[in-house]
Amino acid sequence: MIEVWGRRSSINVQKVLWALGETGQPFERHAAGGQFGGLDDKVFLKMNPNGLVPVMKDGTVTLFESNTMMRYLARKYGKDNIRPRGQKPWALADQWTDWTATTLNAPMFTILFDTVRATPEQKNPAAVKEAEKKAGDLFKIANRAIGRKPWLTGRHFNYADIALGVYYWRYLAFDVKHAKTPNLDRWMEQIKERSAFKEWGMVPVGNSPEEWNANEKALG
Ligand SMILES: N[C@@H](CCC(=O)N[C@@H](CS)C(=O)NCC(=O)O)C(=O)O
184 closest CA partner among 137, 134, 145: 145
Q: Do residues 157 and 84 lie in contact, with contact meaning Cβ atoms separated by under 8 Å?
A: no
- Can you tell me the mean pLDDT for 148-170? 97
**What percentage of the chain carries pLDDT values higher than 90?**
99
155 CA distance to ligand 1 middle (Å): 31
Per-residue model confidence as pLDDT tens digits over 171-200: 999 999 999 999 999 999 999 999 999 999
Q: Do residues 109 and 132 lie in contact, with contact meaning Cβ atoms separated by under 8 Å?
A: no
Nearest CA to ligand 1 atom 6: 52
Distance in angstroms (rounded) separating the CA atoms of residues 132 and 114: 11
Direct distance between the N- and C-terminal alpha carbons of the chain, in angstroms, rounded to an integer: 20
Give the 3-state DSSP-derived string for 79-140, with helices as H, strands as E and coil as C: CCCCCCCCHHHHHHHHHHHHHHHHHHHHHHHHHHHHHHHCCCCCCCHHHHHHHHHHHHHHHH
Per-residue model confidence as pLDDT tens digits over 5-35: 999 999 999 999 999 999 999 999 999 999 9
Q: Do residues 170 and 30 lie in contact, with contact meaning Cβ atoms separated by under 8 Å?
A: no
Domain positions in the chain are: 1-220
pLDDT at res. 118: 95
pLDDT at res. 180: 98
Per-residue model confidence as pLDDT tens digits over 60-96: 999 999 999 999 999 999 988 999 999 999 999 999 9
Burial class (CB in 10 A: 0-12, 13-18, 19+), 40: exposed
Identity (one letter) of the amino acid at 104? L
* Paired strand residues for 182: none
Other C-beta atoms closer than 10 Å to the C-beta of 210 total 10
- Can you tell me the mean pLDDT for 98-111? 98
37 CA distance to ligand 1 middle (Å): 12
Nearest CA to ligand 1 atom 3: 65
Which of 53, 66, 103, 203 best tests ligand 1's pocket when mutated (most atoms within 8 Å of CB)?
53
Pairing of strands 2-5, 61-64: unpaired
136 CA distance to ligand 1 middle (Å): 23
pLDDT at res. 86: 94
pLDDT at res. 136: 98
Class of the CATH-defined domain 1-220: alpha beta
